[in-house]
Amino acid sequence: MAYKVSRLDVADYLTDENTIAEYLSSVLAEGNTALLISAIGDVAKARGMSHIAELAGLGRESLYKALSPDSKPRFETIVKVLNALGITIQLTSIKDNVPEQAA
The mean pLDDT of 39-67, rounded to a whole number, is 96
- Comparison of pLDDT for 38 and 6, the residue scoring more: 38
Q: How far apart are CA 55 and CA 61, in angstroms?
A: 14
Q: So where are the chain's domains?
A: 10-97
Q: Is 74 helix (H, G, I), strand (E, B) or coil?
A: coil
Total-model pTM:
0.83
Instruction: Read off the pLDDT of residues 11-21 as tens digits, 9 standing for 90 and up.
Output: 999 999 999 99
Instruction: Read off the pLDDT of residues 63-89 as tens digits, 9 standing for 90 and up.
Output: 999 999 889 999 999 999 999 999 988
CATH class of the domain defined by 10-97? mainly alpha
CA atoms within 13 A on the CB side of 101: 2
When the pLDDT of each residue in the chain is averaged and rounded to a whole number, the result is 91
Residue 87: phi and psi, rounded to 5, are: -120, 140
Query: What does the pLDDT read at residue 94?
Result: 77
Interacting residues of 23 by C-beta distance below 8 A, sequence separation 6+? 10, 14, 39, 42, 43
